[in-house]
Structure 1
Amino acid sequence: MEHGYSRIVLMGVPGTGKTTIGRALSRATGLRYLDGDAMHTGRALQRMAEGVPLGDEDCWPWLVRVGNALSNPPLIAGCSTLKRSYRDLLRSIAGPIAFVHLTGAPAVIARRMHGRPSPSMPADLARQFADLQPPEPDEQSLTIDIDQPLEVIVANIQAAMGFAPASR
């Protein structure tokens, strides 16, 4: 691939639009999109449905599943990867990954989450922000503010990653 990005992970706290942006970026680039939430274990899904926050012990099996999927590029995956150790695990399984950190003001994200009927949406957004460890300078990453139109977000990701603009 000319742009060199065959593994892209859209990361961020819940409500940043990983799925929506991932699907739109997939349409624009032709890369497959995988919603990482679909790869959670049954135990993790049960805990989320009960409103129990997931700990690292719940996340490791999920991250291994996502990492294995990323081993079959090209692929865009939506996966929160809030912690550096989570991103390190994905890289150790799949190889080089470009992380797109979707970020926004807590009020914007809370507004987006309001009324979302999904067991994967934690009730405690503050805890998610507390767990967030943004990508460090040695990680291949891009930070995108989500408080703009979807088309602009997708175009900015494409431009930053060297994808050709979508043909009209």
Structure 2
Amino acid sequence: MKEERVAICPGSFDPVTLGHLDIIRRSCKLFDKVIVAVLDNPEKKTAFTAEERMDMLHRCTLNLPQVEIDSFHGLLAEYARQKQAVAVVRGLRALSDFEYEFQMSLTNRNLNPNLETIFFNTQAENMFLSSSVVKQIAVFGGDISKCVPQCIMQDINDRIYAGGNKHE
């Protein structure tokens, strides 16, 4: 029996963007199972709780049956070992992303020699896109419809534009 190839797409996903979804969809073409892992770092200020981010990811990936949504804290290399993942998938927008991601991939490989890192170049239309950019646009009531999936747009606008309580 063929062993299942598992990949992890880690991130804060605060909130999930169309760029994130593009990387997740492309990962599904290469792996049997893709675990989208929300980093739950209590030290990091986020607009949405880990549970809320997981819920948004669930709604955004309903049409991707091999996707599993999870959260983790601690070392990615150890989480990958627990999940028996063979790869970490990361998206790259610019050269500046590569420096950081390359360093992280070497660190993860040092901690877990069986773990590969695969980089996807982002699509041209998503090169500017990040969760921070989405939040900045939303704060000022700008149109985020070309940045995030329709199914979560209201969540983002309600939390960020309407001045809802930020998760501390």
Which of the pair has the greater relative contact order for Cα pairs under 8 Å at 6+ separation?
Answer: 1
What's the TM-score once normalised by structure 1's chain length? 0.36
Q: From the two aligned structures, give the one with the greater strand fraction.
A: 2
Q: From the two aligned structures, give the one with the greater helix fraction.
A: 1
What's the TM-score once normalised by structure 2's chain length? 0.36
